[in-house]
Chain A
Amino acid sequence: EPEVTQTPSHQVTQMGQEVILRCVPISNHLYFYWYRQILGQKVEFLVSFYNNEISEKSEIFDDQFSVERPDGSNFTLKIRSTKLEDSAMYFCASSDFRASYNEQFFGPGTRLTVL
């Protein structure tokens, strides 16, 4: 069964450093998303991406964040200068939105720890 994959599973970084989180969405999906979940809190939407551009972003997704689809399979989230409060689980998701009812399938997540 096709699934979303993410690497790395755990990333530890120093405050102020740049990190890149990587995702491979399900191959025939066209819509890609990043969410985050701070420990003990709800899953929060960050950004959605379609047709090589951002379609929607949340207030959390400020200038420190960027997304990219560098090739036909990968989808990345970059945090330019990490802060302590960026520590969270980051989930990538994908969907075939327009063909269904926005069923989004999540990857296993990357746990980001900022020290």
Chain B
Amino acid sequence: QKEVEQNSGPLSVPEGAIASLNCTYSDRGSQSFFWYRQYSGKSPELIMFIYSNGDKEDGRFTAQLNKASQYVSLLIRDSQPSDSATYLCALSYNTDKLIFGTGTRLQVFP
């Protein structure tokens, strides 16, 4: 069973702080990793993807991948109240489906 694990949260951070969201996965064959943001009652919105070990930065977001430890994370710098949402980690193998974690709820308070 291929699993994606996330802490459900909520993770509460003050405005302007760095939010760190973590995800572990069970299958070393995983190839690509995705972070989606989902506001309540809305659809998943792609934030970024990563497929190589190391860091990938896009604006206030940084994804980090460590395949040896089977770990992927998302850092959000200068967190804003509008970042309050559920963050979904997803991965794909050599097939085309995405496997999602249950998501981590982030709350950014003013």
Interface residues, chain A, with chain B CB atoms under 8 Å away: 31, 33, 35, 41-45, 48, 50, 55-56, 58, 89, 91, 95, 97, 101-109
Contact = CB atoms under 8 A, between A and B. Distances in A.
B96 A95 contact: yes
B101 A58 contact: no
B100 interface: yes
B93 to A, nearest CB: 10
Nearest to A41: B102
B107 to A, nearest CB: 17
Name the interface size band of chain B. Answer: 20 to 34
A27 B90 CA distance: 24
B97 A33 contact: yes
Contacts of B17: none
B100 A44 contact: yes
A113 B34 CA distance: 29
Nearest to B101: A42
Interface of B: 31-32, 34, 36, 42-46, 49, 51, 88, 90, 92, 95-103
Given A31-B96, A42-B100, A45-B98, A106 B32 contact: no
Given A55-B96, A102-B96, A108 B43 contact: yes
A42 B102 contact: yes
B94 to A, nearest CB: 10
Given A33-B97, A55-B96, A103 B34 contact: yes
A80 to B, nearest CB: 23
B49 A101 contact: yes
11 contacts: A33-B98, A42-B100, A43-B98, A44-B100, A48-B95, A89-B43, A95-B96, A101-B31, A101-B32, A101-B51, A102-B98
